[in-house]
């Protein structure tokens, strides 16, 4: 019998994984410019960590965790998200003693036993970042700016929704009001919302059921309940974002599926992904470090869903280039020998080079260059090469141009000559 992968768990084949790596390297570059360092945390944690951090009454903790009993009877869980683990590590290694501010990022698989569908998997991957030790609006804006610029650099059209969820001072009042409002609409709310109303009333704003959406259109909005410090904080975030021309929408219905959030919360939504359109989510979580037994250190962070981002790149036809900078097509053994050392030299300088040959003819090599989306092909024929000549083919226009080949040129100059010749 054939054995297939487990439902909700997928293989990422080379065609897609190449895109993943480009994304990852773009994110790493962006993290580096903002001073983040990588943290690598385990995929398994004590179940209690997630129950305490994410919240006992969240969907994740109630029904989506992969929990198992170890041989010593302890309850362990495959991590459904990264924030709890990062904070656990932060506390365990006393990182606050080493630095007043920690900026950490992580990349890796997460596990949630959700109903699989397009863009929703049981094993998925996140690129996440957390800042511990800053509670000012400037850092919130900086984090959003970094995300905005990252999405821009990927040429992706997304919208940024932000909201303030208040804090321990002002949220309880809003909770009560929302609960009372929900109770007045009980007949129109779905069963799920009935139970949410008692355990986690904010979640009724997030229900996807059309009836519930309808019933809550004129629900109270948290903005009207914010205490002065929360309101001031949020206004500052908005001002910084406007100053940098970051387009965002204040979405008063934005609530998050994890309980630890306060103040600035956000989601980045994509067009063209269907119902699973959140490509990134995050926000502030002051109080969480303390709640997990650590010092009173504030925090804010986000996580990007890699699968959704890749789907978005595909949907918006942004094929990040994994194409070679140059494809070398030598014809004949002598040319192959020369091409072999040229390719090595270019690669040593960091250029992506694809070298064909192996006795294959020009046509076959061009088919391969096309397949790899190479823009420029350097054709090295035996006789021409002895005369110091070669040909550059522009694969987009399919035009050939002769070029003088000086194999002793430095790599950068060689690449420049090839590009200039083809244009
Ligand atoms: P989250 O909103 O639960 O937040 O997840 C972040 C992102 O992970 C989502 O926007 C989505 O792109 C992706 N994602 C979530 N579940 C799935 C799934 N089943 N399949 C595919 N992609 C999925 C968090 O996890 C927080 N820890 C983010 C954070 C960090 N907040 C503060 N710091």
Tokens of 357: 């040959």
Helix (H, G, I), strand (E, B) or coil at 130: strand
R_g (Cα) of the chain, nearest Å: 27
Q: Which residues of 241-276 are buried (b: 16+ CB within 10 A; e: fewer)?
A: beeeebebeebebbbbbbbbbbbbbbbbbbeebeeb
Do residues 252 and 277 both lie within one domain? Answer: yes
Is the CB of residue 353 less than 8 Å from the CB of residue 347?
yes
Is 400 part of a structural domain of the chain? Answer: yes
Residue 278 lies in a domain: yes
Q: What pLDDT score was predicted for residue 411?
A: 86
The DSSP call for residue 135 is: -
Mutate to test the pocket of ligand 1, among 104, 281, 282, 286 (most ligand atoms within 8 A of CB): 281
Residue 132 sits in the same domain as residue 258: yes
Specify if 411 maps to a domain.
yes
**What CATH code is carried by the domain that includes residue 130?**
3.30.930.10
CA 231 to ligand 1 centroid distance, Å? 26
**Each residue of 380-398: b (16+ CB within 10 Å) or e?**
bbeebbeeeebbbbbbeee
Q: 61: which DSSP letter? A: I
Cα separation of 25 and 19, whole Å? 10
| pLDDT computed for residue 265 by the predictor | 98
What's 322's DSSP letter? -
Position in ligand 1 atom list of the atom nearest CA 119: 21
Please report whether residue 234 resides in a domain: yes
* Residue after which a domain boundary falls, among 315, 347, 381: 315
Q: Which residues of the chain have pLDDT under 70?
A: 317-321, 423
For residue 319, what pLDDT is reported?
59
Q: Report CA(196)–ligand 1 centroid distance (Å).
A: 20
Is residue 235 located within the same domain as residue 360? no
* Same domain (yes/no): 24, 129: yes
Which residues are within 8 A (CB) of 52 and not within 5 positions of it... i.e. 6 or more apart?
291, 292
Both 301 and 345 in one domain: the answer is no
Tokens of 226: 């914010």
* Final residue before a domain boundary, out of 262, 287, 315: 315
- CATH code, domain with 389: 3.40.50.800
DSSP letter (8 states) at residue 60 = I
Confidence at residue 408, expressed as pLDDT on a 0 to 100 scale: 83
Residue 351, number of CB atoms within 10 A of its CB: 16
**C-alpha span between 339 and 330 (Å, rounded):** 6
**Main-chain phi, psi angles of 342, to 5 degrees:** -65, -45
The total number of structural domains that make up the chain: 2
Whose C-alpha lies nearest to ligand 1, atom 31?
282
Q: Give per-residue pLDDT as tens, 356-398.
A: 878 899 999 999 999 999 999 999 998 888 888 999 999 989 8
205 assigned to some structural domain: no
Domain that residue 384 falls in: 326-422
CA of 81 to the centre of ligand 1 (A): 7
Predicted pLDDT of residue 321? 67
Alpha-carbon distance of 376 to 124, in angstroms, equals: 36
Of 118, 120, 282, the one to substitute when testing ligand 1's pocket (max ligand atoms within 8 A of C-beta) is 282
Do both 239 and 358 map to the same domain? no
pLDDT for 302 equals 98
Q: Which residues contact 307 (CB under 8 A, 6 or more apart)?
A: 119, 121, 124, 125
Q: Tell whether 236 and 111 lie within a shared domain.
A: yes
Question: Do 374 and 279 fall into the same domain?
Answer: no
Q: Tell me how far CA of residue 51 lies from CA of 46, 54, 127, 165, 286, in angstroms.
A: 9, 6, 22, 21, 17
Classify residue 93: in a domain, yes or no: yes
Single out the residue of 276, 289, 299 nearest to residue 112, CA to CA.
276
For a substitution probing ligand 1, which of 124, 139, 300 has the most ligand atoms within 8 Å of its CB? 124
Number of residues that make up the chain: 423
**Rounded-to-10 torsion of CA 340, 324, 279, 315:** -140
Helix (H) or strand (E) holding 197: helix 191-199
Say what the pLDDT of residue 318 is.
Answer: 63
CA 304 / ligand 1 centre spacing (Å): 6
Is there a single domain that holds both residue 264 and residue 391? no
The domain boundary, picked from 267, 289, 315, lies at 315
pLDDT for 190: 92
Q: Tell me: do 302 and 342 sit in the same domain.
A: no
Q: What distance in Å separates the CA atoms of residue 268 and residue 160, rounded to the nearest whole number?
A: 5
pLDDT score, position 313: 86
Q: Does 270 lie in the same domain as 382?
A: no
Residue nearest to atom 2 of ligand 1 (CA): 281
Nearest CA to ligand 1 atom 10: 280
203 in a domain, yes or no? Answer: no
pLDDT of residue 136: 97
Pocket of ligand 1 (CB under 6 A): 81-83, 112, 114, 120-121, 124, 126, 128, 130, 257-258, 278-283, 301-303, 305, 307-308
177 inside domain: no
Ligand 1 atom 15 nearest Cα = 305
Q: With CA atoms as reference, report the closest residue to 285 among 167, 414, 384.
A: 167
Same domain, yes or no, for 311 and 384? no
């Amino acid at each position: 019998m054939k054995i297939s992968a487990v439902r909700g768990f997928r293989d990422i084949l080379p065609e897609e994984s190449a895109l993943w790596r480009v994304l990852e390297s773009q994110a790493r570059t962006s993290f580096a410019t903002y001073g983040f360092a990588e943290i690598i945390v385990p995929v398994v944690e004590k179940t209690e960590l997630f129950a305490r951090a994410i919240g006992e009454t969240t969907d994740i903790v109630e029904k989506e965790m992969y929990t198992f009993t170890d041989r010593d009877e302890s309850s362990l869980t495959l991590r459904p998200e990264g924030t709890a683990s990062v904070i656990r590590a932060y506390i365990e290694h006393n990182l606050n003693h080493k630095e007043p501010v920690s900026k950490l990022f992580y990349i890796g698989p997460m596990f949630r036993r959700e109903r699989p569908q397009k863009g929703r998997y049981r094993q998925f991957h996140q690129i996440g970042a957390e800042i511990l030790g800053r509670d000012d609006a400037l850092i919130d804006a900086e984090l959003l700016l970094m995300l905005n610029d990252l999405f821009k650099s990927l040429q992706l059209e997304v919208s940024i929704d932000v909201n303030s969820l208040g804090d321990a001072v002002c949220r309880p009042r809003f909770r009560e009001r929302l609960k009372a409002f929900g109770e007045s609409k009980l007949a129109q709310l779905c069963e799920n919302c009935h139970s949410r109303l008692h355990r986690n009333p904010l979640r009724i704003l997030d229900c996807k059921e059309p009836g519930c959406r309808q019933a809550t259109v004129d629900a109270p909005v948290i903005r009207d309940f914010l205490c002065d410090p929360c309101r001031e904080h949020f206004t500052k975030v908005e001002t910084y974002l406007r100053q940098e021309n970051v387009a965002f929408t204040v979405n008063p219905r934005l609530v998050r599926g994890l309980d630890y959030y306060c103040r600035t919360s956000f989601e980045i939504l994509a067009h063209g992904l269907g119902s699973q359109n959140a490509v990134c989510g995050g926000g502030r979580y002051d109080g969480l470090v303390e709640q997990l037994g650590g010092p009173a250190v504030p925090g804010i962070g986000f996580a990007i869903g890699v699968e959704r981002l890749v789907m978005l790149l595909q949907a918006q036809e942004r094929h990040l280039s994994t194409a070679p900078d140059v494809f070398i097509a030598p014809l004949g053994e002598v040319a192959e020998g020369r091409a072999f050392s040229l390719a090595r030299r270019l690669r040593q300088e960091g250029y992506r080079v694809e070298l064909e040959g192996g006795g294959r003819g020009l046509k076959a090599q061009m088919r391969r260059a096309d397949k790899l989306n190479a823009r420029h092909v350097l054709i090295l024929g035996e006789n021409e090469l002895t005369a110091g000549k070669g040909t550059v083919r522009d694969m987009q226009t399919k035009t050939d141009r002769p070029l003088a080949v000086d194999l002793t040129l430095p790599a950068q100059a060689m690449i420049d000559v090839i590009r200039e010749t083809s244009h």
